[in-house]
Amino acid sequence: MSKLASTVTPILPALEVDSAADLTWSDSADLLVVGWGGAGASAAIEARSHGASTLVIDRFSGGGATALSGGVVYAGGGTDQQNQAGCSDSPAAMFDYLKHEVDGVVSDATLKSFCDQSVANLHWLEAQGVSFSASLAKQKTSYPPDGVFLYYSGNEVVPAFAGVHAPAPRGHRAVSKGQSGAALFAGLQAATLKAGARIMAQACVRRLVRQRSVDDQPGRILGVEVWQLPAGDPRTARHVELDGLIAGWRLYHPGKAAAARSEQAVIEQQIATPSFVRANRAVILSTGGYIYNPELINTHAPQYRKGWPIGGAGCDGSGLRLGQSVGAAARKLGNISGWRFITPPYSWPKGLVVNRSGERFCNEQVYGAKLGHHMVEQQGGKAWLLIDSKLRWQAIKECLFGRLWAFQSLPALALMFMGAKKASTVAALALRIGADPEKLTHSVEAANAAARGETEDPMGKSADMRQQLVKAPFYAIDISIGEKLFPLATLTLGGLTVNEIDGHVTDLQGRDIPGLFSAGRSAIGLPSSSYISGLSLADCVFSGRRAGRAAVNE
């Protein structure tokens, strides 16, 4: 098999000039938005609403990770959908819960602002043509069934995360047939164009242009160097065609998707030509994360190399590296979200998750990214899910008749029928998985005692999620990071540091870099400590609109 071409955007050192007059610019706009996903679209729409001419530049056809996502927006504080579903919520309750998840990665003032603006930002999305619904999921799930659009998308119902407020469902999935990311971005895409922003597609920003610094102050960003594919060339048309093929192949034919991304990179290398585009006021970086940058992952988070990267092909850290090329600071670059969802099937969290020695290390009902974090960061990426015969048949019935998505049911069935270790006793099962029989037996006995109501669960599992494991045979399912039948989805959470008041990118001394802003997963934001479903897209809207408003006045 021939080696695939690197798909990582080559980022050049910043070009420093004395003034904008030193270069010949092919185009200009008040604001240049680099990356047309959820954050870039939000920034562009907001900027246009304040009268700034806006040019959006995207390496592909737009959409990024947003279009490929589940289309879930984390919103609360009393949304219309929550009220219609009879679910009480308030900005204060939302703030109290998110304090657990955000863990100080942004200030309390920023978190409060996010919560206070949540209802308004959801209304703003609806005004852009994105629809939401009050149909409420009946059970905790990684992603709600078709036709269901409101659910508990984080750890709200986990006892350890419960505060004085009753838990509220805050996962608002955009209404669509099938998964919702494409529908959510379609609304933002149409709104971007309707607002009057211009689009430069199949165009990649490889370098920032900045004014030379004076008296050790950061130089102003003046524009960008863009490498664009020529219109009318059949290879450009092929590049566009590959966008759609990659979106269709990425879940079930990852090898084909990787080859298609490589083909796109080759086309870019062959025919892209450079030009300089002037930013009269500012540049906003919103190119997504860096999960498709092997060098960055090897440097900052090698323990996740066996994971399954998810996101758009443009999530190669180009925004991060552009910012760093002008002295920007970055944080949390080793922070990766690894998704080990074990619900659905809904019965699986009633089983026990143990490490290689046979000891429990996490409450099985937590959100999948929380379980994945504990497994990779604390247990070397190795874990087993234990169930008994009764739980196994419950889970099989849920997979077959529980209206699950194929990406939820098929791996679970494959693991239960083909990938599980089986034994007639817990001690014998321990030997089959290389665990300590005494420790595994103790783990099961302690959990069974809690399920009988004799003690509290050692990991804090709520009473409704406890079930004795007593019916032989017993099964151990490998849920480790390298399990081929059950890939561990991964995405990056770190990014450029920003001034939380306006989204300005900041340098190593904490100073604003004039003319440079960032939003979405290119920057530190609400999800940069720990991820829950919908928080990234909600932050894209929050931080994108923030940057769009502020950059107009730069």
Confidence class for position 2, pLDDT limits 50, 70, 90: low
Q: Stretch 189-204: mean pLDDT, rounded? A: 98
Domains and their CATH numbers in the chain: 15-66+180-337+495-552 (3.50.50.60), 72-173 (no CATH), 341-478 (3.90.700.10)
**What are the φ and ψ backbone dihedral angles of 44, each rounded to 5 degrees?**
-65, -45
DSSP 8-state symbol, 202: S
DSSP symbols for 247-266: HHHTTT-HHHHHHHHHHHHH
Q: Stretch 460-465: mean pLDDT, rounded? A: 95
Confidence class for position 375, pLDDT limits 50, 70, 90: very high
* 209 has a pLDDT exceeding 90: yes
Residue closest to 35 by CA, chosen among 552, 543, 553, 550: 543
CA distances from 321 to 201, 288, 419, 493 (A): 20, 12, 41, 15
8 Å CB contact between 121 and 91 = no
Axis-axis angle for helices 426-433, 437-451 (nearest 10): 130
Query: Who contacts 58 (Cβ-Cβ below 8 Å, separation ≥6)?
Result: 35, 36, 40, 64, 199, 200, 201, 202, 203, 314
8 Å CB contact between 223 and 30 = no
Identify the pLDDT of residue 323.
98
Confidence class for position 200, pLDDT limits 50, 70, 90: very high
Q: CA torsion 266→292→66→90, rounded to 10°?
A: -170
* 80 has a pLDDT exceeding 70: yes
pLDDT in tens, 493-505: 999 999 999 999 9
* 150 has a pLDDT exceeding 90: yes
Residue closest to 375 by CA, chosen among 391, 356, 388, 347: 356
* 214 has a pLDDT exceeding 90: no
**What are the φ and ψ backbone dihedral angles of 362, each rounded to 5 degrees?**
-160, 150
Mean confidence (pLDDT) of the chain: 96
Q: Stretch 478-489: mean pLDDT, rounded? A: 94
* 437 has a pLDDT exceeding 70: yes
Q: Stretch 5-18: mean pLDDT, rounded? A: 95
Confidence class for position 254, pLDDT limits 50, 70, 90: confident
Identify the pLDDT of residue 1.
45
d(CA 257, CA 251): 9
% of the chain at pLDDT higher than 90 = 92
Q: Stretch 386-414: mean pLDDT, rounded? A: 96
Identify the pLDDT of residue 164.
87
Query: Who contacts 479 (Cβ-Cβ below 8 Å, separation ≥6)?
Result: 340, 342, 353, 375, 383, 384, 385, 486
